[in-house]
Structures are given as C-alpha cells and as structure tokens.
Amino acid sequence: MNAILISVVIGAVVAVLAAWLMAMPVFWSIAVALPITAVTAMALMALGVAAPSWQALPTPDETLTMHQASSLSSRLAEAAKDPGRFRTRVQPRLRRLAADTLRRKGISLGDDRAREVLGAELHTLITKRDAQLPSPDRLAELLGRLEGK
C-alpha cells in the first residue's frame, strides 16, 4: 500500500512540475505523469522481491566424509581380495602415515627403533612387500595404536 501511495505522490509531483515549468496543458502533464507513476509503483512493489536471502543452504545428505569412508572401505575390500592392490594402494598410504607419526618423535621409518615403537606386526605390515592385510578388526586396532603413539 505504501508503494502505491509513494508512486501517486511522485506522479503528482511530475504532473505539477510539467504543468508549471514547461507550461504544459494539464491534460498532457497528467498523460506524462501516468506512465511514470505506473513504473514507479511496479519498481517499488518489486523492490523486496529482489532482496537476497542470506539463509544458510541445507547440508547435503552425502558429506565428503561419507564419500571418503565408502571409498576407503571399497579399497580395503579390493585389497583383501588382491594382494597387489594392497601393495600399490593401501600399503604406501599406511607407510606415509606411520612415517609422519614417527617423524614427530624424531625417528625415521628405516631406524631400528621404528620397529619397537610401531610394534612388530604393524612394522611388518607397512614395510614387507609380501605382507598380508589383516582382518578388519585387527587393522582397526593397529591403526588405533598408530594414532595413539
């Protein structure tokens, strides 16, 4: 309602100015003011429609963590069936994880102390070429120990 009132006032001002400053007949000043009044009313009514909405978008059902977890589980399932995949996909990542953990303690993966710190089973798993992927429960336990060290 305010938009219509404001546009009528603007139209009246335009009609008065056209009649007074340009010495235009009243009929023509009203004819010039009507389209200006209509455009002003439409612009003022549409003003709130174009305002941006700053609400946060809803979170998608699939998050990146879920995708990474499913990717990891599929790689581990493939590695359990195919030792070559374990050697090429899983073992290098485990080796980097162990090396980073050891580096924080000032130990390199090639040191003799690395076997003591990691434990014989985990050290064998990440360093031996013919290492076999343990059961999922045992792997989770080994990785848990690696995180805790």
**pLDDT tens digits for 53-108?**
777 777 666 555 555 556 667 777 777 788 788 888 888 888 888 888 888 888 88
Tell me, rounded to whole angstroms, the distance of Cα 114 from its chain centroid: 38
pLDDT of residue 45: 84
Residue 107 has, within 13 A of its CA and on its CB side, a CA count of 16
Question: Distance between CA 28 and CA 122 in Å, rounded?
Answer: 94
pTM above 0.95, yes or no: no
Tens of pLDDT, residues 6-36? 999 999 999 999 998 888 899 999 999 999 9
List of residues 6+ apart from 7 with CB closer than 8 A: 37, 38, 40, 41, 44
pLDDT of residue 30: 92
